[in-house]
Chain A
Amino acid sequence: MPYIYMNIMLAFVISLVGTLMYRSHLMSSLLCLEGMMLSLFTLNALLSLNMNFTLSTTVPLILLVFAACEAAVGLALLVMISNTYGLDYVQNLNLLQC
């Protein structure tokens, strides 16, 4: 297993763990989500280029388009939360109390 692929997959796992364990800001989780998309893009591009799958070099481009849409929706939600509560602290999202 080439070492570079291992490093990039490790980067994906690190941002996945960072997405799931949030601290005070919601924005940090969105940034870790963007990190997951970046590592997926890098891995896809490297695999398509190194194994000479020429047609699958479209896959990173499509992935980037979908990541942009997802970031837009996430940022819109964060803007609404920030407008309602003043900051994007996760502890403010306590309307549903079990």
Chain B
Amino acid sequence: MMYVVFIMSVLYVVGFIGFSSKPSPVYGGMSLVVSGGLGCGIVMSSGGSFLGLVVFLVYLGGMMVVFGYTIAMATEEYPETWGSNVVVLSAFLVGLLMEVFMVMWLFSGEHELVGFYFSSLEGLMVLGEGGFEYVREDYSGGASLYSYGFWFLAMAGWMLFVSIFIAIEVTRKRY
């Protein structure tokens, strides 16, 4: 069970190979959703529950839904999957072979794996004035966006606002 995060990261790479071998975008979007879920699991096992929630809500629930609608609008009649085209299948198998070789090369080196990955409670403790306090790192990072990173917030908000106008102007019909 201590390898579960490593197995999740291997499956993450397999998901990336899945949409990078270019099947029809319907199946590519599905593979990206699977990789997003596994990435959330990897981030959460390091103690970042807020950032995992951000991946699911904003990335999968916001951006991937929009991608899914656009794919449904601009898709073809017979989408090609990984098994229906020899080019896609061979690209997927070459990527899979590369990942297997990399895992074998990693495990043929040093044989101790304890100590490569810790998600411990000591990471949450800071030394305050009256002793030890507990702080959640990712929540305090999200909160510091509004205090220390105010200029980041202003620029990001302005950029989102301008990109709405960009999207409206790009999709204007010109006759």
Contact = CB atoms under 8 A, between A and B. Distances in A.
A55 B29 CA distance: 32
Given A35-B16, A41-B39, A75-B67, A57 B59 contact: no
Contacts of B90: none
B114 to A, nearest CB: 12
Contacts of B42: 4, 8, 42, 46
A55 B87 CA distance: 45
Interface in B67-87: 67, 70-71, 73-74, 76, 87
Contacts of A75: 66-67, 70, 167
B48 A45 contact: yes
B21 to A, nearest CB: 7
Which of B6, B76, B118, B141 has the largest count of A CB atoms less than 10 A from its CB?
Answer: B141
Contact of A31 (B25, B46, B66, B163): B25
Q: How large is the interface on A (under 10, 10 to 19, 20 to 34, 35 or more residues)?
A: 35 or more
Nearest to B11: A7
Q: How large is the interface on B (under 10, 10 to 19, 20 to 34, 35 or more residues)?
A: 35 or more
Interface string B8-42: 01101100110111111100110010011001001
Interface in A1-32: 2-4, 6-8, 10-11, 14-15, 17-18, 22-23, 25, 27-28, 30-32
A45 B43 contact: yes
Given A4-B6, A57-B51, A68-B63, A27 B71 contact: yes
Interface of B: 5-6, 9-10, 12-13, 16-17, 19-25, 28-29, 32, 35-36, 39, 42-43, 46-48, 51, 54-55, 58-59, 62-64, 66-67, 70-71, 73-74, 76, 87, 95, 99, 102, 106, 116-118, 123, 135, 137-138, 140-142, 144-145, 148-149, 152, 156, 159-160, 163-164, 166-167, 170-171
Sorted from nearest, which 4 A-B pairs have the closest CB atoms?
A57-B141, A18-B20, A7-B9, A27-B25
